[in-house]
Structure 1
Amino acid sequence: MIFNKSSTEQGDAVIATQAPCSIAPVTVPQYLESTYWWAYTHPNAVRVFERQWLVNLILWGNFSRLRDLALQEMGDVINGDVLQVACVYGNFTEHLVHRLGPQGHLNVIDVAPVQITNLHAKLGEQKQVTVLQQDSSALNFADASHDTTVVFFLLHEQPAEVRLKTISEALRVTKPGGKIVFVDYHKPKASNPFRYVMVPILTTLEPFAMDLWNGQIADWLPSDCQNLALDKQTYFGGLYQKVVITR
């Protein structure tokens, strides 16, 4: 629900609004401004939603579990290059940073400047982290430039055409043999009472989220990636899913 979204230096931490080789300035997409201004792009959004207890409540007490399930895919010590696609309310990025080994590096991108500013405030000085303003549907990274790419509760916030591009870009920038880790909503089992609670919430506040109930992440893979190894697990009566694709 609420998890996603000036070139300066703070100590050794590199902080930038866009990648050094950007050709055009990054703009906040219209769908994000019109649909999620209250959650991501308005300055008051951060003041309201950047609370660990609140993000945990939004996920019905499952934030820590889902965070750790995603991070476990990267190992206890991460020594490769990791890309986190979109900032996250709560302590997801902090826990990821704590796993970085001596040769580990984390790139975090987000299209919303207010989210980048918020992440700077949460992380402070970090030698092994680079934060960039980029659009997930048009990443400014080279092909096969990351060992792992993680997309944590972002896909449900995007229209289908943007979601397709985001998934394609995540695959493109991940090295052969590397992992792309998706955690997001999923259609619950019929016996799960939250199935009936979530329908009015998602249809009212998250107009694109029902796509993940009516389809599969595999449905949005590029045609040349249909045969990649894919592992899918569901949690909390099927309300959430983790999909891991090996490039």
Structure 2
Amino acid sequence: MSPPPAANTVETTSLSAKHALPPATIPAYLENTYWWAYLHPRAVHIFERQWLVNLILWGNFARLRDAALQEMGEVINGRVLQVACVYGDFTEHLVRRLGPQGSVDVIDVAPIQIKNLHAKLKNTQRVNAHLQDSTALQFADGSHDSTVVFFLLHEQPAEVRRKTIAEALRVTKPGGRLVFVDYHKPRAFSPFRYLMVPVLTILEPFAMDVWNHEIASWLPEGAPVEKIEKQTYFAGLYQKVVMTKKA
């Protein structure tokens, strides 16, 4: 594979086709580092396989998916924001939890990922896909009851990660929850503590930041967060961090 041509500015798309928001441009770090996984025309064909995303997470995809979704409840009647599309059936399971008053907004900066979301969702009622950058969300303050960020932060440089978290917090309503699931530094006895270092260093050059720092360390100064809960999985290789915004 060779890197794709330089990104052009593209218009917002939506499953419901009723939003007309400013265009998004693919960031340089995404083009330069992750073109092979998210931007190349063959990327979706290769990676959009449930068995493969489960293998990449050492058999933990369903466990981590369900742990994240459970934080929003068995039945979701609020407005949920999913920051970035996800390979695998994460969004499908999120949609299945929607109650009569529930809705989901999914944002991604890559048109090919939005197109893939269109293709794999069977139930598109109350689901809107928006072509947006996670560092500059086009939603009003406090517009969402909960926000979920599933394995995105480790793919972003620190300055981008900081802006993504700040924006996720901004658009979450007071009293609402932000749910982050990502990599974490494994416990000393875990073989993955040593096995994953070369893997992440080569393929995920920003991931070691998430190993070595708490997600909360990228919150903006004075962030209106009243509670932070953290749980780790698979001998510490993965983490779920739930932040509750001050009411």
TM range (shorter): over 0.9
Provide the C-alpha distance between the structure 1 equivalents of 2:20 and 2:148, rounded to a whole number of angstroms. 22
SS in 2 for 1:225: coil
Matched, 1:240 2:244: no
Native 8 Å contact 2:95 2:123 kept in 1:
no
Match of 1:70 among 68, 71, 79: 68
Q: Which residue of 2 aligns with 1:61?
A: 59
Percent identity of paired positions between Structure 1 and Structure 2:
71
- Matched length: 235
Taking the aligned partners of 1:219 and 1:53, their CA distance within structure 2 comes to 33
2:20 paired residue number: 20
User: Aligned partner of 2:133: which letter?
Assistant: D
Q: Over residues 92-146 of structure 1, what are the superposed CA-to-partner deviations in whole Å (9 max), with x where a residue is unaligned? A: 0000000000100000000000000000000145121000000001000000000
Distance 1:131 1:73 in 2: 22
Distance 1:30 1:21 in 2: 21
| In 2, Cα distance between equivalents of 1:231 and 1:92 | 22
Shift of 1:228: 2.6
Q: Aligned in 2, Cα 1:29/1:57: closer, same or farther, shift over 3 Å?
A: same
Q: Point out where structure 2 has 5 or more consecutive residues left out of the alignment.
A: 1-10
- Is 2:47 aligned against 1:49? yes
Normalising by structure 2, what TM-score? 0.92
SS at match of 2:207: coil
| CA displacement at 1:240 relative to structure 2 | 0.2
1:180 matched to 2:212: no
Q: Give 3-state SS (helix, strand or coil) of 1:234's partner.
A: strand
Give the letter for the 2:36 counterpart. Answer: W
- Alpha-carbon spacing, 1:206–1:8, altered in 2? closer, same or farther (3 Å): closer
TM-score between both structures, scaled by the size of structure 1: 0.92
- Distance between the aligned counterparts of 1:39 and 1:210, measured in 2? 19
Secondary structure of 2:59 counterpart? coil
Q: 1:141 aligns with which of 139, 142, 147?
A: 139
SS at match of 2:174: strand
The structural deviation recorded for 1:7 is 6.2
- Could you list the runs of 4 or more consecutive aligned residues of structure 1 that deviate by over 6 angstroms after TM superposition? 6-9
- 1:15 to 1:110, Cα distance in 2 relative to 1, 3 A: farther
Q: CA RMSD in A?
A: 1.4
Distance 1:125 1:15, change over 3 A: farther
Q: Secondary structure at the match of 2:176?
A: strand
- Tell me by how many angstroms 1:163 deviates: 0.1
Q: Deviations over 1:30-86 (max 9, x none)?
A: 100010001001110100000000000000000000000000001010000000000
CA distance in 1, matches of 2:98, 2:195: 38
Q: Which runs of 5+ in 1 are unaligned?
A: 1-5
Contact 1:218–1:226 (CA<8 Å) still a contact in 2? no
Distance 1:237 1:203 in 2: 20
